Amino acid sequence: MGKITSKIGASLKNKRVNVFFLFLLFSFVILIFSKLSKDYTNTLAFQIEKLNVPEEQVILNDSTTIDITLKTHGFRWFNYYFNTPKISVDFTKDVSKKDKMYIWSQSKDYLKNTQFDKEVQILNVSPDTLLFRYDSNMVKKVPVTLDADIKFSAGYNVFGAMKLEPDSVTVIGPHVLVKEIKEIETEKLSLEEIRTDIEEPISIILPENSIDLKFSAKTIMVKAEVKKFTEGTLKVPVEVINIPKNINLKYFPKEVNVAYFVSLDNFNTVNAEDFKVICNYKNVTGNQTFLVPELVKYPDKVKSAKINHQQIEFIIIK
């Protein structure tokens, strides 16, 4: 019997608590509605929404906001705080044109009649005049420059050239801004221990005042074929050019070692005939007794090449 009495008492107690919280919630809702029903005065920054701008022109980002002091009920303020307030400027009817500039200057009554309802009272607009500079659109194709720091695993390297897709970006915007852009650089691409083909997206770095510009692409794909490389050495004949006809020239050595870096796949296809080493007698000065060899030709399949012998001795036989 005692247990039943105890359960009934707890149940009644819980019901009293639930009723209390229900009345508390109801009171809070009434309080909120009471507060939101009252009028309040405040100043808000309204963003400028540009409408019907002529296609052949672009408006520079001069006037972006306008401060408007309003008096309205709390429900309206509640909406403003959760949604960015905007003022529309129609460039077919709301502005005048003077000296490469559009001018917007409208009365409080005009704003109230066109962009606010009857429940909103406009007390002040600052500034009361907006100036919009404009310029003619310019289209320019600009090369993309890759900023990369790529470290390969031992023995691996890029086969051929690294490719950018696209390798250029079309920029559209005001002539005064676009004409200054000579190239577009990417963000830095850092890779380590690379031993497989590269295919990485990378963003471009937008120039200052880019809000007034349009770009055909903002992300570039970096591609490269990666292969295992090895070093080889070949003996290549030396050819001396521009020897005067009245001079009998003897030089040594007749061949020099050329070290080259090539992919493992192409190692057996490289021959001495693919290289050309010359010495130009015209470059000899004073009592100089040696010629300087130059590597003037090597195949495209070779990544890099160098001559291991830096001087060719010579004598003139009379």
Show pLDDT as tens, one digit a residue, over the chain (318 residues). Answer: 455 555 545 554 555 556 656 655 655 556 455 554 567 788 888 888 888 888 677 777 667 788 888 887 666 666 777 777 888 888 888 888 887 788 888 776 777 677 777 777 778 888 888 888 887 788 899 999 999 999 999 999 998 889 999 999 999 888 888 888 999 999 999 999 999 999 999 999 998 878 878 899 999 999 999 999 999 999 999 999 999 888 888 999 999 999 999 999 999 999 999 999 999 999 998 888 899 999 999 999 999 999 998 899 998 886
Decide if 136 contacts 179 (C-beta within 8 A).
no
**How far apart, in whole angstroms, are the C-alpha atoms of residue 20 and residue 178?**
68
What is residue 33's predicted lDDT score, i.e. its pLDDT? 53
Q: Which domains are assigned to the chain?
A: 39-128 (2.170.120), 137-228 (2.170.120.40), 229-317 (2.170.120.30)
**How far apart, in whole angstroms, are the C-alpha atoms of residue 120 and residue 72?**
5
**How far apart, in whole angstroms, are the C-alpha atoms of residue 203 and residue 37?**
50
What is residue 36's predicted lDDT score, i.e. its pLDDT? 47
What is residue 296's predicted lDDT score, i.e. its pLDDT? 95
Instruction: Fill in the DSSP letter of residue 186.
Output: B
Size (the chain), residues: 318
**How far apart, in whole angstroms, are the C-alpha atoms of residue 239 and residue 280?**
9
**How far apart, in whole angstroms, are the C-alpha atoms of residue 180 and residue 209?**
12
Which amino acid does the sequence have at 226?
A: V
Beta pairing partners, 240: 279
Residue 235 backbone phi and psi in degrees, to 5: -90, 125
232-261: b (≥16 Cβ within 10 Å) or e: eebebebeeeebeeeeeeebeeeebebebe
What is residue 62's predicted lDDT score, i.e. its pLDDT? 65
With CA atoms as reference, report the closest residue to 69 among 45, 104, 38, 105: 45
What is residue 12's predicted lDDT score, i.e. its pLDDT? 44
Which amino acid does the sequence have at 240?
A: V
